[in-house]
């Protein structure tokens, strides 16, 4: 049942405020001041976290690395499961291993988990399907409560994975004494405000639909982001290529001049995911480098960011203001909607893109 939407993907994008609110209520019950986990995790007993996943779930790990390192000062190693399992990395004492998977059945992620079993101090997982293999074989599985996800392109599972990882990072920060009680309550307030912000962000659907008709003409598209928005650039590019078959790449903004800028001309739209944060000025200079070469910038930012970017930007998508902490969750919405509307404009099979399976149970 597509609930009145044209595709499951559209329904799953639109469901995000509701499913996030549900997931928040499980981990942050109304009236509680603390994060409630299904079982305790002692973050003072571990020295490092190894996070492993594939595809979009791997990009959620990329975002979470910023959170765990910045908030909890916990060193994080991340890798894609297909590399991790054959690299056979050392797993030093004091390592917790965390696997992220919507389906809980991805072959490479499961193999990476089995490699860590008996080596890591604790095997954790962040999963959507509670009865899945990855869930069962973990010491502690944290459900994301996204509900069934049917579209091959992962949408609500990504934002729910991010939510659970954000709360885990805050819990780690609290236990490790890296955050004051007041700061923690401020962050939890940010989390509680998320469903409302997601609802606001979804109103960009119409403008995104209009500009996606132009994007659908492109052969190549670049996505740029800095800090925790860099993984969002990767996610935006993956979503777009998966369902619209347009070649897209995500880069860290600062990497532009180390190669990819050679691709830029007036045929290559460059989508910049950049809320006005501490790194915004640096992103502006990257945009100027693109514009000086005739590149067309699509800036996804808040009102202040769009204002300070000035003239010369090809198109803008205005997002609500959001804390730097939770911007990666909110900016998933434009990443998803840009891919969705571009694919619809091209007339591709959005829910069942060619060559792809929802769950990759063979390597
Ligand atoms: O079920 P999983 O989360 O383990 O799946 C991982 C990837 O196969 C998945 O995220 C894939 O990249 C999606 N199609 C992305 O939209």
- pLDDT tens-digit map of 195-230: 999 999 999 989 999 999 999 999 999 999 999 999
Q: What integer pLDDT is reported at residue 276 of this predicted model?
A: 95
Protein residue with its CA nearest to atom 7 in ligand 1: 55
Which numbered atom of ligand 1 lies nearest the CA of 53? 4
- Helices (H) and strands (E) in the chain — how many of each? 14, 10
- 148-165 pLDDT, tens digit per residue, is 999 999 999 999 999 999
Instruction: Say if CB 339 and CB 234 are below 8 A apart.
Output: no
- 294-315 pLDDT, tens digit per residue, is 999 999 999 999 999 988 999 9
pLDDT at 33 over 90: no
- 235 Cβ inside 6 Å of ligand 1: no
- 155 Cβ inside 6 Å of ligand 1: no
Q: How far is the CA of 61 from the centre of ligand 1 (A)?
A: 12
- 128 Cβ inside 6 Å of ligand 1: no
pLDDT above 90: percentage of residues in the chain: 94
Which numbered atom of ligand 1 lies nearest the CA of 157? 3
Q: What are phi and psi of 50, to 5 degrees?
A: -110, 120
Q: What integer pLDDT is reported at residue 208 of this predicted model?
A: 95
Q: How are beta strands 220-225 and 247-252 bridged, if at all?
A: parallel
Q: How far is the C-alpha of 92 from the C-alpha of 113, rounded, in Å?
A: 15
Q: Which of 210, 152, 55 is nearest to 349 (CA)?
A: 152
Quick one: average pLDDT of 274-289?
Answer: 93
- 168-178 pLDDT, tens digit per residue, is 999 999 999 99
pTM here is: 0.97
pLDDT at 60 over 90: yes
- Band of residue 6 on the pLDDT scale cut at 50, 70, 90: very high
DSSP letter at 256 equals G
Q: What integer pLDDT is reported at residue 86 of this predicted model?
A: 96
Protein residue with its CA nearest to atom 11 in ligand 1: 55
Q: How far is the CA of 60 from the centre of ligand 1 (A)?
A: 11
The answer to which of 50-54, 245-249, 285-289, 324-328 has the lowest mean pLDDT is: 285-289
Q: How far is the CA of 251 from the centre of ligand 1 (A)?
A: 20
- 103-115 pLDDT, tens digit per residue, is 999 999 999 999 9
Q: What integer pLDDT is reported at residue 301 of this predicted model?
A: 97
- 68-89 pLDDT, tens digit per residue, is 999 999 999 999 999 999 999 9
Q: How far is the C-alpha of 130 from the C-alpha of 328, rounded, in Å?
A: 25
Provide the β-strand partners of residue 316: 299
Q: What integer pLDDT is reported at residue 229 of this predicted model?
A: 97
The phi-psi region of residue 18 (left if phi > 0; otherwise alpha if psi is between -120 and 50; otherwise beta) is alpha
Which numbered atom of ligand 1 lies nearest the CA of 158? 10
- 336 Cβ inside 6 Å of ligand 1: no
Inter-axis angle of helices 332-346 and 205-215, nearest 10: 50
Q: Which of 226, 230, 165, 172 is nearest to 191 (CA)?
A: 165
Q: What integer pLDDT is reported at residue 31 of this predicted model?
A: 81
Q: How far is the C-alpha of 31 from the C-alpha of 42, rounded, in Å?
A: 24
The answer to which of 116-125, 227-236, 256-265, 327-336 has the lowest mean pLDDT is: 256-265
Long-range contacts of range 137-144, CB-CB < 8 Å, 24 or more positions apart? 137/110, 137/113, 138/99, 138/113, 140/37, 140/38, 140/39, 140/41, 141/38, 142/37, 142/38, 142/168, 143/26, 143/38, 144/23, 144/102
Q: How far is the C-alpha of 242 from the C-alpha of 258, rounded, in Å?
A: 26
Quick one: average pLDDT of 332-351?
Answer: 96
- 101 Cβ inside 6 Å of ligand 1: yes
pLDDT at 359 over 90: no
pLDDT at 32 over 90: no
Give the three-state DSSP class for 348: coil
Pocket test for ligand 1, best of 154, 240, 353, 363 (most atoms within 8 A of CB): 154
């Amino acid at each position: 049942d597509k609930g009145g939407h044209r595709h499951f993907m559209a329904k799953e994008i639109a469901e995000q405020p509701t499913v996030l609110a549900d997931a928040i209520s499980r981990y942050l019950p109304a009236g509680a001041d603390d994060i409630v986990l299904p079982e305790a995790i002692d973050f003072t007993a571990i020295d490092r976290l190894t996070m492993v996943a594939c595809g979009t779930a791997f990009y959620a790990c990329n975002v979470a690395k910023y959170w765990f390192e910045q908030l909890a000062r916990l060193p994080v190693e991340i890798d894609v499961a297909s590399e991790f399992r054959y690299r056979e990395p050392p797993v030093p004492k004091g390592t917790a291993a965390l696997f992220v998977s919507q389906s809980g059945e991805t072959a490479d992620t499961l193999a990476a988990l089995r490699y860590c079993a008996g080596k890591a101090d604790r095997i954790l997982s962040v999963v959507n399907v509670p009865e899945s293999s990855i869930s069962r074989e973990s010491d502690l599985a944290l459900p994301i409560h996204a509900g069934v996800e049917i579209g091959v392109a992962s949408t609500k599972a990504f934002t729910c994975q991010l939510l659970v990882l954000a709360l885990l990072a805050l819990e780690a920060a609290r236990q490790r004494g890296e955050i004051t009680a007041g700061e923690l309550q401020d962050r939890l307030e940010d989390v509680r405000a998320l469903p409302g912000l997601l609802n606001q962000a979804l109103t960009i659907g119409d403008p995104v639909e209009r500009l996606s008709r132009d994007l659908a003409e492109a052969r190549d598209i670049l996505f740029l982001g800095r800090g925790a928005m860099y993984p969002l650039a990767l996610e935006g590019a993956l979503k777009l290529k998966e369902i619209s078959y347009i070649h897209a790449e995500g880069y860290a903004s600062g990497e532009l001049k180390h190669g990819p800028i050679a691709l830029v001309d007036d045929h290559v739209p460059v989508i910049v995911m950049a809320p006005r944060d501490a790194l915004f000025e640096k992103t502006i200079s990257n945009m100027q480098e693109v514009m000086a070469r005739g590149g067309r910038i699509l800036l996804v930012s808040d009102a202040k960011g769009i204002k300070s970017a000035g003239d010369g930007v090809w198109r803008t998508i205005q997002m609500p203001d959001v804390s730097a902490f939770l911007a990666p969750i909110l900016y998933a919405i434009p990443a998803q909607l840009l891919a969705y509307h571009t694919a619809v404009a091209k007339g591709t099979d959005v829910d069942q893109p060619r060559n792809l399976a929802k769950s990759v149970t063979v390597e």
